[in-house]
Amino acid sequence: MSSVKAYAAKTADTPLAPFHLDRREPGPDDVQIDILYCGVCHSDLHTARNEWHNTLYPAVPGHEIVGRVTAVGNAVSKFKVGDLAGVGCMVDSCGHCSSCHEGDEQYCENGFTGTYNGPVFGGENTFGGYSQRIVVKESFVLKISHDEKDLASVAPLLCAGITTYSPLRHWNVGPGMTVGIVGLGGLGHMGVKLAHAMGAHVVLFTTSPGKAEDAKRLGADEICISKDPEQMAKQANRFDFILNTVAAPHDINAFLQLLKRDGTMTLVGAPETPHPSPEVFSLIFKRRSLAGSLIGGIAETQEMLDFCAKHGIGSDIEVIPMDYINTAYERMLKSDVKYRFVIDMATLK
């Protein structure tokens, strides 16, 4: 065991505070990573505050992890000491169900093991990236080929990046397609960058006119203010695919109307209370589909990281010290971040 410093929530209504935890010594298949940066995801906050009613305390959040390999087990073949490596939302899955066989570990029929709060599906609690070190089995560790100076901006790719990349790839987004991205936050800004890099014509939907300039900088070809009925009417029946990243409950029909025949809208935001039910007529008249998507498999996460390295894509970030995390949560709730907080783990002393 190695004792490492961390930050934990001890109950749902106490702020995160310094904590010590034990990491296992690396077994034959394990990679030990000293964490350099960890992104701050909205799920971290939901878990710390038990908003999904499944948190085991103490809770150490963080599933956008990048760092340096400091030890490997003797059966590890893809990583060596000194390599840069990443860990996302999962650290294990059953390995033998149909989803695992097809590389969709995130849909494991027996439940994947989360990087933190793992016992959602049984087993011992797991502690995430708000810590100095993590030990993870090799098959759940990702290779990072970005320039080391860009490492902090790579961290959010491990959740926000793959959550948007996976549906864009699954629905074959590419040149000649018109793609809508709804919402410009941690997920949405990655959606805009990725859909643009895949060659699609990208339209960003936002309720904030103030975000227009930024959306264009990130790669949007057009901006539509979604609370303006006239602007929305002009977008009707033109989209092959819409990626809806908004977590707040809202009227799904307003966006379904924008899909062309056989178009699909995929939801990736996780609302605390359900969206109002969509109208069936919005779907049947043009054979439209409404879908959902959860992060991505390990092989696809590696593909996403390689794609981003090749296209020079990282997240737009604000680097913070560890002891700023409770303030960062308050700012995140107000969408006061462009577009992801990333903790510099060197500040965890």
- DSSP one-letter string for 76-130: --S--TT-EEEE-SEEE--SSSHHHHTT-GGG-TT-PEESSSGGGGSSS----SS
Residue number with CB closer to Zn ion (55 or 93): 93
- The Cβ-side half-sphere exposure at 89, using a 13 Å CA radius, reads 25
**Residue 94 or residue 212: which is nearer to Zn ion going by CB?**
94
By beta-carbon proximity to Zn ion, the closer residue of 226 and 315 is 315
- As a 3-state breakdown, the chain gives helix, strand, coil percent values, each rounded to 5, of 30, 25, 40
16: three-class secondary structure by DSSP = coil
302 near Zn ion (CB under 5 A): no
Determine if the peptide bond prior to 58 is cis (ω within 30°).
yes
- Contact flag: residue 332 with Zn ion (CB under 5 A): no
CA distance 244 to 251: 11
Residue 144 forms beta bridges with which residues? none
CB of 349 to Zn ion, least distance (A): 26
Closest to Zn ion by CB, 12 vs 97, is 97
**Least distance to Zn ion from the beta carbon of 344, Å?**
19
**48 touches Zn ion by CB under 5 A:** no
Q: Do you find a cis peptide bond into 37, omega within 30 degrees of 0?
A: no
By CB under 5 A, tell whether 94 contacts Zn ion. yes
Q: Are β-strands 259-267 and 289-292 bridged in parallel, bridged antiparallel, or unpaired?
A: parallel
Please identify which residue in 32, 47, 55, 93 interacts with Zn ion, judged by CB under 5 A.
Answer: 93
Closest of 67, 69, 66 to residue 82, by C-alpha: 69
108 binding Zn ion? (CB under 5 A): yes
Q: How many residues bind Zn ion (CB under 5 A)?
A: 8
Binding segment for Zn ion (CB under 5 A), chosen from 104-112, 121-129, 134-142, 275-283, is: 104-112
Q: How far is the CB of 342 from Zn ion (least distance, A)?
A: 13
C-alpha torsion 65→69→70→72, nearest 10: 120
Candidate list 31, 91, 142, 159; residue touching Zn ion; CB under 5 A: 159
Using the rule CB under 5 A, which residue among 16, 35, 43, 203 binds Zn ion? 43
Closer of 46 and 288 to Zn ion (Cβ): 46
Binding span for Zn ion by CB under 5 A among 73-81, 90-98, 224-232, 237-245: 90-98
Q: Report the interface residues with Zn ion, using CB under 5 A.
A: 41, 43, 93-94, 97, 100, 108, 159
